[in-house]
A and B are shown apart, each in its own frame.
Chain A
Amino acid sequence: MKRLLTLALSGLALTATPALAQDVTVTNARLVIGDGSAPIEGGAVVVRGGRVVYAGPASGAPAGGMTIDAGGAWVTPGLFATVTTLGLADVAAVGESNDITANGSPFSAALDASAAINPTSQHILVHRAAGITRAATTTLPSGSIFGGQGAIIDLDGDAKPVMQARAFQMIVLGENGGTRAGGSRVAAHVLLRAALREAQALIGKAGTPQTTEIAKDDALFLGRFDAEALVPVVTGQQKLYIAVDRAADIRAVLALKAEYPKLDLVLVGASEGWLVAKEIAAAGIPVIANGLTDLPESFEQLGATQSNAGRLARAGVKVAINAATMQDPRRLQQVAGNLVALTRVPGASGMEWDQAFAAISSVPAEISGLGGKAGVLKPGALGDVVLWDGDPLEVGSVPTKVFIGGVEQSLESHQSRLRNRYRDLDESDLPKAYDW
């Protein structure tokens, strides 16, 4: 009976009105700031009005508010997942529930993920319970090289999941881009430049002609609305995420910067990035790198190695871990942990623990334009605090409490409810359908 009551309460909690931000102090923490610094034993983090006001040794913490004794547990900033499709699909293979791609749409760059984020998506609930509190989420290319405009979201499940709409434009080059541009990398590069030129024309760059669209037969590679959507890209107001893997394709992206100096570029994937690490570092372009991709899955990934991220970082590149190349973004912790494992493998390059954690917290937040605000516990940052039942990079560790913007979150989901229902198979009184 007690169990039933507990379950009933948790069921109610799932649908309850979100609470207001609390003033919370977490003490006795193995405190991870998230900026690459070492954990602080006996640390404390203080959140007031939804923001971090203190994080450091307990001795310096201001008093007041609700206090939680972490009992020596790991306490970290919320993880920041990039690049994801969280909130854009219920079941990826169920087409009508999937807003990630739009094969039949005439639009590409104009697509705006923020219009469709479902804050109560099960994937958001599941990933929140895995310690991910914010994410960059985006539509993906289908009819052209342009995937559309991604959004920065929070995972608190309230009515406003979008923190920043149209935060970046997502495009693919390489094999994928070539396919979508009509059959070759060459075509993709012409399309990209033509599109950027159209965007410049729309803001009055002298001498640049305007066309209404770029199309072939039924395929529209760029329409007027897409060109308009690229204006903030070409002016550097909106980040341009370019997914490429081959070293030569990475160099081609770096070369874009000479033609379009205002582009605010981010490389995504970059499986062979380690082969051009110095050039990427010199260009000052951050990389959302594939973490454990080590197979020549395509001819543009022949040099793929799990040491890619580590080698890029060692060359001075700002490296976040790409959530798009794992089964689900909740594996970010596992991928980061594996990068730590590589530091003990002869000949491999990995990351020390503090750096690996930063690669799934503060660094992706910085790349997303939220430096100092997300993925880090520093005064002024958003009050995203996660308490863990173990080392957060160890497989099997999960959060015991998650705060987003100072609000404690429910960790319930479809999965947790199934788990509770099937904790035994006892149907001696009634079918399982009555156990909820």
Chain B
Amino acid sequence: MFADKTVPARLGRLAALVSALALIASVTVADARARGKDRKQGKDEETSASTLAAAKPGEGVFASTYKPFPSIATAIRGATIFDGRGNRIDNGVVFMSGGKIVAVGGPDTPIPADIAVLDGTGKFVTPGIIDIHSHLGDYPSPGVEAHSDGNEATAPTTPEVWAEHSVWPQDPGFTRALVNGGITALQILPGSANLMGGRSVTLKNVPARTTQAMKFPGAPYGLKMACGENPKRVYGSRGRMPSTRMGNLAVNRETWLAAIDYANDEKAKRDLGKETLVGVLKGEILVHNHCYRADEMALVLDMAKEMGYRVSAFHHAVEAYKIGDLLRENDVCSAIWADWYGFKMESYDGILENAAFLQREGACVVIHSDDANDIQRLNQEAAKARAAGLRMGIDISEGTAIQWITYNAAKAMGIEKMTGSLEEGKMADVVLWNGNPLSVYSRPEKVWIDGALMFDAMDPKRRPVSDFELGQPGEGDVK
């Protein structure tokens, strides 16, 4: 089926699930613990209890062990609320209990008598901020060579590597993103040295001893891909393919064709890289494609059509504003900076109005960081991008700018049904700001993740300090 270009590239969740079941139909009833599979026999062979075998593809491995921390039912009253879906509620109420959002509304929203009520007068409430593009953990601080774990730059396609196997949960950057940026969820991606850099992982921004304890339950995987200068420079300089942009596309297409053959070959020996690519072809793994130039994004969209997958988001899409119409038609988000430009050739045409022009076209905008510092100020980056639009006469509400760093990010990461907005039943990932988050003068005052208070500016001890920082200068400082 994967060779058939007429199959819609975009598979619904249900369809993806059905096809996944079909692929492993013969083993779905097998007990994972039996491990009775001879790997030489191929991935779909019947199992027998006498041989050794790994867990089957599709079974949860490196599974999330995250559990929400204890929470108390809390309501915030009298604050200005941006709900993440573009709406603003003045003098509003947010009520969370049991780790979930229970109610969001105006001043008349009922609040049970026996719960904690915070006075939000003069303050603002948003969903937890989400960064769709981070390297916290895989390029952690301190940024020493021993910590350089973001690029498996030994082959141009490494879809077999998983970013979560590089994440160091003690990276102090996670804590800064929480306390200064109100970040409650983030996607950690492999770097961009490779055309196919590997799987991403989506994390809850909770301090943890293991990466599994940060993994966002139920979040789909992503596949990091990269266009342009980086892959061709890294491999071209070693005298190997790709050394050109046409080489980039050729290697990509050959790799996709091989993955399709793999998917259609029931006898094929297990291949971790191809499993990732098949996951993409089935719509279970979302493509996050580093791509600066408009013309290259257009080529990738055609490649995706050819191979039968879809791109969830172009990252660092500095020239997305040139093809906002095309991006809207293909339902692809652009994950972008507000003001980065001119540091490399493919960023030469960066402009402040990128987000606003995409919004004008009705295309999906996500503001991202790719940076351990900017992740602490995504709200300010969104504010900059909005201001540039207003100057051009493009009416972008404050609520829309907040949507760029909450719901839209969640949507492009496939977690929008769980978080990214303040809606009944969703995870109580919430930030209380001491002022309008679109102002440079505002900071998070409290941050809840699944209803648990993980940061409180008013309580010096309600602030995470990573193992690395214990006993070192500045331990527990405001940072």
Q: Please list the residues of chain A having a beta carbon within 8 angstroms of any beta carbon in chain B.
A: 90-94, 122-123, 126, 247, 272, 275, 292-299, 301-307, 327-328, 330-331, 334, 337-338, 340-342, 344-348, 389, 393-398, 414-415, 418-419, 422-423, 425, 432
Contacts and interface: CB of A to CB of B under 8 A. Distances in A.
B344 A93 contact: yes
A297 B141 contact: yes
B271 interface: no
Q: Determine the interface band of chain B, counting residues with CB < 8 A from chain A.
A: 35 or more
Given A126-B342, A395-B440, 11 more contacts: A91-B343, A92-B343, A94-B344, A272-B474, A328-B340, A334-B384, A338-B377, A338-B380, A395-B380, A398-B387, A422-B357
A329 to B, nearest CB: 12
Contacts of A334: 377, 380, 384, 440
Contacts of B176: 294-295
Given A415-B352, A419-B352, A398 B479 contact: no
Given A340-B440, A398-B391, A418 B349 contact: yes
Interface string B174-204: 0010001000000000000000000000000
A23 to B, nearest CB: 30
Contacts of A303: 472-474, 477
A398 B391 CA distance: 10
5 contacts: A302-B473, A327-B339, A338-B377, A396-B384, A422-B357
A396 B374 contact: no
A123 B479 CA distance: 31
B419 interface: no
Contacts of B323: 425
Nearest to B233: A93
B345 A397 contact: no
B129 interface: no
A135 B441 CA distance: 26
Nearest to B469: A296
Contacts of A272: 473-474
B143 A297 contact: yes
Nearest to B321: A422
Nearest to B442: A341
B440 A91 contact: no
A418 B351 contact: yes
B156 interface: no
Interface in B308-343: 321-325, 339-343
A394 B341 contact: no
B111 to A, nearest CB: 27
A344 B441 contact: yes
A227 to B, nearest CB: 34
A275 B443 CA distance: 25
A340 B440 CA distance: 8
B62 interface: no
A298 B344 contact: no
Contact of A395 (B384, B390, B469): B384
A306 B479 contact: yes
Interface of B: 141-144, 172-173, 176, 180, 229, 321-325, 339-345, 348-353, 357, 361, 371-374, 376-377, 380, 383-384, 386-388, 390-392, 434-435, 438-443, 457-458, 460, 468-469, 472-474, 477-479
Contacts of B352: 415, 419
B325 to A, nearest CB: 5
Given A295-B176, A341-B441, A423-B392, A395 B387 contact: yes
Interface of A is mostly: loop
Contacts of B434: 344-345
Contacts of B229: 93
A125 B468 CA distance: 43
A373 B443 CA distance: 35
A302 to B, nearest CB: 5
Contacts of A419: 351-353, 392
Nearest to B476: A347
Given A307-B478, A331-B339, A415-B352, A247 B391 contact: no
| For the complex of A and B, 9 pairs with smallest distance between CB atoms | A396-B387, A337-B440, A303-B473, A303-B474, A93-B344, A348-B478, A295-B141, A294-B479, A347-B478
Contact of A295 (B172, B321, B441): B172
Contact of A425 (B325, B341, B474): B325
Contact of A393 (B350, B438, B440): B440
Nearest to B371: A327
B476 to A, nearest CB: 10
A325 to B, nearest CB: 9
A305 B342 contact: no
B383 A298 contact: no
Nearest to A432: B322
B473 A425 contact: no
Contacts of A305: 474, 477-479
Nearest to B472: A302
Nearest to A345: B443
A342 B387 CA distance: 23
A396 B386 contact: yes
Nearest to A275: B473
Given A306-B478, A345-B478, A422-B357, A298 B387 contact: no
Nearest to B387: A396
A347 to B, nearest CB: 5
B457 A345 contact: yes
Contacts of A423: 357, 392
Contacts of B390: 396
B474 A302 contact: yes
A86 B453 CA distance: 44
A342 B376 CA distance: 14
Which of A272, A340, A414 is packed against the most chain B CB atoms within 10 Å?
A414
Given A294-B479, A341-B443, A425-B325, A330 B339 contact: yes
Name, among A331, A348, A419, the residue most crowded by chain B CB atoms within 10 Å (CB to CB). Answer: A419
Contacts of A345: 434, 443, 457, 478
B180 A415 contact: no
A328 B337 CA distance: 13
A66 B351 CA distance: 33
Contact of A91 (B345, B435, B472): B345
B341 to A, nearest CB: 7
Contacts of A398: 387, 391
B46 to A, nearest CB: 53
**Looking at A296, A348, A398, which has the most chain B CB atoms within 10 Å of its CB?**
A296
A330 B229 CA distance: 26
B92 to A, nearest CB: 22
B443 A344 contact: yes
A328 B458 CA distance: 33
Contacts of B392: 419, 423
B370 to A, nearest CB: 11
